[in-house]
Amino acid sequence: MATINANFLKLKAGYLFPEIARRVRAYSEANPAQASRIIRCGIGDVTEPLPAAAVEAMRAGVEELGRRETFKGYGPEQGYEFLRQAIVEHQFAGLGISADEVFISDGSKCDTGNILDIFGQGNIIAITDPVYPVYVDTNVMAGNTGDADAKGTYAGLLYLPCHPANGFVAAVPNEHADLIYLCFPNNPTGAVASRAQLEAWVAYAREHDAILLFDAAYEAFIQDPAIPHSIFEIEGAHECAIEFRSFSKNGGFTGVRCGYVIIPKSVTGSDGMGGRVPLNQLWSRRHSTKFNGASYPVQKAAAAIFSEAGKAQVAGLIDHYMGNAKLLREACTAAGLSVFGGVDAPYVWVACPAGLSSWDMFDKMLSEAQVVITPGSGFGSAGEGFFRISAFNSRSNVEEVCRRLLALLG
């Protein structure tokens, strides 16, 4: 008899975004006349076409694969040197990162989940609340938690609540943690961490011999020049941090799939017997066994993001989405709501009108305005009473969302 991984039975009914899609489908079937009016600002999925430089490079990559003289089979599991090198030069110049500390993948969602493969059991895991649900669910699947309570809070995780009073940036805890997930700019709250706040986290990690799992998927949206884009801008991070990056949101690669992980060779973990093992080695070994590399045309397209033309096209995309975020912030403020985020991040985080829970607000926006938002409680119990609006949309859709928001609440 094949038994199952019983940890999966601890998971809440459905992953947040499929659950939202299910509710939207049910509404559309019950209200066919309204279905075509629905505007989706729930999942943070890009809407604008790929940068032309990436399309051109991907096309050239496919052409190469179609000719005997330039055909390629399996590539290096860790990624092609040309892309690893381009990342170092264009994203980590002067930060002491080398190409063999960059691991190319098919996206950050997979990386932030898969990273648990290289860590042992019994680690104390700290996560912020609200949080990107992947961090929690993958720890549940890996057996790093107990059961969830009625609010969906899992026994065994150290939750770090984020709220307006701390600017949605968790302070270092008094308790010990071994692995800490940080995401800046933050999904879902749109908060960013200052240099001083990141320095405090690096100091904590070094004092506790802990590892920071730093998700910087949204770094390209930072507008404030004082905000660090990488944890490796902080002294000491090369001994205690792993960083996750993605081409999804800056390059519009959500459907193309490409991301990367930075693991400096100086980051080590305990073997439980008094020895230390470089995590870079373990991740490389894991990649070789479980992954055959992102596809060649995709890596060509990713490298083209760093060409002069690619950089200008990406800057245009960022401006577009941040322009949307500004409009959404203004509309929510004009509607009398308390608004957070959306300044250095493509997510606007909003307090629900008095008396409405996150899912009440989701239902109200869907049934009365045909706008899909994300209920804050889907990101953790501290997200209750908030909702998230994604700025990833066309300008005309965002303008229409603003009109409907004001008509509904203004």
Binding residues (CB under 6 A) for ligand MLT: these are 43-45, 109, 187
Peptide linkage before 188 cis (omega within 30 of 0): yes
Q: Work out how close the CB of 7 gets to ligand MLT at its nearest, in angstroms, rounded to a whole number.
A: 21
Residue closer to ligand MLT, measured from CB, 222 or 279: 222
Q: Work out how close the CB of 388 gets to ligand MLT at its nearest, in angstroms, rounded to a whole number.
A: 8
Q: Work out how close the CB of 258 gets to ligand MLT at its nearest, in angstroms, rounded to a whole number.
A: 13
Tokens (6 digits) for 93: 């110049």
Neighbours of 408 (CB within 10 A): 14
| Nearest C-alpha neighbor of 375 from the set 364, 365, 388, 366 | 388
Q: Work out how close the CB of 133 gets to ligand MLT at its nearest, in angstroms, rounded to a whole number.
A: 8
* Nearest position to ligand MLT, beta carbon: 44
Residue closer to ligand MLT, measured from CB, 369 or 373: 373
Q: Work out how close the CB of 44 gets to ligand MLT at its nearest, in angstroms, rounded to a whole number.
A: 3
Tokens (6 digits) for 46: 């890009």
What is the CA angle 169-175-176, rounded to 5?
100
Residue closer to ligand MLT, measured from CB, 238 or 249: 249
Backbone angles phi, psi at 255, to 5 degrees: -95, -15
Neighbours of 206 (CB within 10 A): 15
Residue closer to ligand MLT, measured from CB, 45 or 239: 45
Residue closer to ligand MLT, measured from CB, 249 or 300: 249
Strands (E), 47-105: 102-105
Q: Assign 259 to helix, strand or coil.
A: strand
Helix (H) or strand (E) holding 308: helix 308-334
Residue closer to ligand MLT, measured from CB, 79 or 376: 376
**Polymer length in residues for the chain:** 410
Q: Work out how close the CB of 341 gets to ligand MLT at its nearest, in angstroms, rounded to a whole number.
A: 12
